Amino acid sequence: MKINAKMATPIEEKIDHNLKIRTGMVNVSDGKSKPEPLRLNLTMELVTLQRLEVVTPTNAQHNGPPMESKERMVQITRQKEGGLGLSIKGGAEHKLPILISRIYKDQAADITGQLFVGDAIIKVNGEYITACPHDDAVNILRNAGDIVVLTVKHYRAATPFLQKQLAKETPDSDNDATCAELKADEGYKSSVDNGTISRSCSRPMSICSEPEKKWVEVVAVPLMMAYVTRYIYGTDKLRPNAFEVRGLNGASTGIIHCDDLAILSQWLKLITDNVVGLTHLQLNVAGLSKALVAYKVYQTMFRVVKESETVDSRQHCFLLQSSGHEPRYLSVETRQELLRIENSWNAAIVTSVIKLGRKTFAVSHHGKSGGLTLDWQSGFSLAEGADSAIVWHYKFSQLRGSSDDGKSKLKLHFQDHETRAIETKELECQVLQSLLFCMHAFLTAKVASVDPAFLSSIQQT
């Protein structure tokens, strides 16, 4: 379903059985018809669009008679007592159709919920009875068998007269009086001749009342593992002031357009917060399913892409680069989401590096084989020889820069604490990218772990 909508009123909140519901009116158009109002409801688990529909009250528990005068097929199972549970009036001798004049409560016709006073019977078990006199129609219905299929068409203009006769408790055999009154009404005659429907009430005159209005669900999208997107599906083209919610089950709200950017941002935040909350809850309960791609955080580079560096029209993009994997160019819907991911990534780096403790890479230093170790507590160290003797050692805080040729050669520039001189160490490593990403992870974790603002933000996420 494709829905274009405009936010008409601010978002409201109400409490329903301790469940917070956020709701707002939207104007809906499919791009072809005149816009119609919809109500958007947001709960913790669902986003729902509802349409306000008119419901005509009836004397029975069923829905009211059809609004359009179209032929319908209704199957009735005859009861041992009461038969079909209906009475008829009209007939060919009166130049009138065979009309249902009464439906008896809790009997066969009433149980179907699909027959109404004012329905004209066109066929019985596929045979036309429109040219039958009244008595012949009665006999056909009586002998139609236990399973009877009626083809009917509703004439709303006839109903007031039939109900009037019913209110007077006129015997069913008094067909002539009712038919005479029907024929005397020019409005009903016109409706029968032209096949149109009048606006007359189809219920007893004493209980006619104003139509009721009810919010009817159009679409509901479960928010568990859902996502909010402002992009045209399958492309990177951004919709101006518009978004849609797509569920894991394939359901979609359609396109909801907001004139007010502030309202758009508010809806994006509210819906995204609910999606994130439900997703975290599900992961805690069920655990992670098998991932399509797995990255070692300490050997992966996370980088926010600047607006001047974006490769398409998407906003809020970031890049994941990991040794042995193709780079991943990803995006989120809002700046808030991007900051949340960046913060969560840095928190994951701190956790993974502390858990890892130390990592050693095979390197070559001045033609000699050795091992470069990154240690969370002590920093950089190079060991050579069979006895793994330490050749040099520097703290992370002493690193002043690095450079590489993009293949295997790496230069590390350290500052001596005493002389303040810069000492350069040249290394070769066959897995240079892994070493560089791991170095970046250790340095990021070291800086983040002593940053009070960062530590505070981690505790709040």
Question: Between the CA of residue 151 and those of 39, 69, 208, 369, what are the distances in Å?
Answer: 38, 12, 27, 94
Question: Between the CA of residue 213 and those of 13, 51, 53, 57, 114, what are the distances in Å?
Answer: 22, 10, 6, 10, 21
Here the tokens at position 336 are 């808030």
**CA–CA dist 123, 144 (Å, integer):** 11
Report pLDDT digits (tens) over 345-365: 988 999 999 999 999 999 999
**CA–CA dist 177, 174 (Å, integer):** 6
Report pLDDT digits (tens) over 183-220: 665 445 544 444 433 333 333 333 334 556 788 888 88
Here the tokens at position 344 are 């969560």
**CA–CA dist 442, 162 (Å, integer):** 88
pTM of the model: 0.47
Which pLDDT score is estimated for 37?
A: 75
Is it the case that residue 381 has pLDDT exceeding 90?
Answer: yes
Which pLDDT score is estimated for 405?
A: 93
What is the arithmetic mean of pLDDT over 157-184? 62
Mean pLDDT comparison of 102-116, 169-183, 439-453, highest-scoring range: 102-116
**CA–CA dist 25, 8 (Å, integer):** 6
Rounded to an integer, what is the distance from CA 199 to the centroid of its chain?
A: 38
Residue with tokens 């990021």: 444
Report pLDDT digits (tens) over 259-302: 788 888 898 999 988 998 887 776 665 555 566 678 889 999 99
The confidence band for 174, taking pLDDT boundaries of 50, 70 and 90, is: low
Is it the case that residue 425 has pLDDT exceeding 90?
Answer: yes
Which pLDDT score is estimated for 25?
A: 81
Contact present, 363 and 384 (Cβ < 8 Å): no
The confidence band for 150, taking pLDDT boundaries of 50, 70 and 90, is: very high
End-to-end CA distance of the chain: 35
Structural domains of the chain sorted by starting position, each given as residue range(s) with its CATH number in brackets: 4-54+216-286 (2.30.29.30), 72-207 (2.30.42.10), 290-461 (2.30.29.30)
What mean pLDDT, rounded, does the chain reach?
79
Residues sharing a CB contact under 8 Å with residue 456, sequence separation 6 or more, in sequence order:
none
**CA–CA dist 4, 10 (Å, integer):** 18
Which pLDDT score is estimated for 14?
A: 54
Which pLDDT score is estimated for 460?
A: 47
* Residue 46 one-letter amino acid: L
Which pLDDT score is estimated for 139?
A: 92
